[in-house]
Structure 1
Amino acid sequence: MTLIHNERIKLLATYFNGIGIAVFAVGGFAPAISSIYSPNGPTPALMFISFVCILASFALHYAASNILRRLEP
């Protein structure tokens, strides 16, 4: 039963980590890079939203690592 439990924990942690990567790519990285190449340049609101998404990405990654602490030997 521990093997099934551990695999479910790893699957949940992978899910959270994947969401964190997606939030970073879509909300943090892509808008910041695209605004650099736009004629208007980056706006303060866009930079704030990108910063919030990057922080959310790190929080989701941290949550995934905390979930892995529930693995049983």
Structure 2
Amino acid sequence: MSLIHNERTKLTATYLNGVAIAIFAVGGFAPAIGWLNSGAAPGMTVAVVCFVCISSSVGLHFIARSVLKGLKP
């Protein structure tokens, strides 16, 4: 029974980490690349959204790590 539990736990952690990567790519990385290509200074709203997305991504990644602590030997 612990094998099934472990696989479900790993699946949940993988899903959360995938969402974290998507949030980082769309909300954090893409605007940064856009700023570099345009050469213009970013607006305050865009900078705040970028910071929130990167912070959310990091938070979800650490939640996924904590989910993995539920693995059974």
Counterpart position of 2:44: 44
Larger displacement relative to structure 2 (54-63 or 36-45):
36-45
Please report how far the alpha carbon of residue 6 of structure 1 lies from its aligned counterpart in structure 2 after TM superposition. Answer: 0.1
Q: Percent of pairs identical after alignment?
A: 53
Please identify, of 35-44 and 57-66, the stretch whose mean Cα deviation from structure 2 is larger. Answer: 35-44
Gaps of at least 5 residues in structure 1 are: none
Separation in structure 1 between the aligned mates of residue 61 and residue 39 of structure 2, nearest angstrom: 34
- TM-aligned CA deviation for residue 39 of structure 1: 5.5
Report the aligned-residue RMSD.
1.1
| Unaligned stretches of 5+ residues in structure 2 | none
Q: Aligned residues, how many?
A: 73
Determine if contact 1:36/1:42 at 8 Å carries over to the other structure: no
CA distance in structure 1 between the partners assigned to 2:72 and 2:39 by the alignment: 54
Separation in 2 of the partners of 1:27 and 1:36? 15
TM-score, normalised by the number of residues in structure 1: 0.93
The equivalent of 1:30 in structure 2 is 30
